[in-house]
Amino acid sequence: MTTPMDLLIVILETASDRPVEEGDLSLALAGAELVDLVDAGAVTLDGDRIVPGTQRAMDDRLLDLAQSSLRRETPYESVEDWLWRRGSGLSKAYRARLEPEEQPARQRHGWFRRRSGRTAPTGSPAVRRTPERWTSREPALTGLAAAVGIHEEPAGAFEGFDADALVTVLAAVNDAVTELAGVRQQRQIEEAAFDNIWRAP
């Protein structure tokens, strides 16, 4: 199971105070793809620039598509630009990927129970590893979930070989989600002002 798929399952199954906006989810999924590409050695980050490595099989169709869409000419693409470009409509692609993978489980209990009573796929070993990453507070997964409002930021500093890259990706996802929220708020203000014009005597 990839980080984007784990993130989608966590978002579908974890209770939150508010639903996750599709645009926010798409941005976080693009960030999750980049985390996996860095982890696989398919890319490195030079500051906030994504430097592609040698093309390699990712053993996942959507990650292969992500890798093939990398900008391979200098100046390389920034993490922020990647999130907006790759993230466009990405939540729909991952939802479509998740649905046929397994039939919904019949049980009405367990980690994967949703507040609505519907359940996510639970049959494959890969899916069953998702709660292990979540309950162990795996930094990439919990950090991405925090960016869309599902969880508080994990305590402590990120550790490991790619810690700097992870910090860069998570910061970019947070900034992009915040920017998108601002756009939505401005749109609501403009729509409310337009409605008030028509309601005025």
Residue 35 has pLDDT above 60, yes or no: yes
Residues with Cβ within 8 Å of residue 79, at least 6 apart in sequence: 34, 45, 48, 49, 50, 168, 169, 172
Question: Residue 50: in which H helix or E strand, if any?
Answer: strand 49-52
Describe the crossing of helices 22-39 and 79-86 by its angle, rounded to 10 degrees: 120
Residue 187 has pLDDT above 90, yes or no: no
Residues with Cβ within 8 Å of residue 1, at least 6 apart in sequence: 126, 127, 129, 130
pLDDT digits (tens, 9 = 90+) for 98-147: 876 544 443 333 444 343 444 455 555 555 567 888 888 888 999 999 99
Percentage of residues in the chain having pLDDT higher than 90: 51
Neighbouring C-alpha atoms within 13 Å toward the C-beta of 77: 17
Rounded Cα distance, 88 and 83, in Å: 8
Phi then psi dihedrals of residue 123, to 5 deg: -75, -40
Rounded Cα distance, 141 and 131, in Å: 11
Which pLDDT belongs to residue 107?
A: 38
70 pLDDT band, cuts 50/70/90, is very high
Stated pTM of the model: 0.81
Q: What is the mean pLDDT of residues 34-57?
A: 94
Q: What is the mean pLDDT of residues 44-57?
A: 94
Describe the crossing of helices 22-39 and 3-13 by its angle, rounded to 10 degrees: 150
State the Rg of the chain over Cα: 18
Residue 153 has pLDDT above 90, yes or no: no
pLDDT digits (tens, 9 = 90+) for 91-102: 999 999 887 654
- Sign of the CA dihedral with 181 first, then 184, 186, and 188 last: negative
Q: Between 191 and 53, whose confidence is greater?
A: 53
Lowest mean pLDDT among 54-58, 106-110, 128-132, 193-197: 106-110
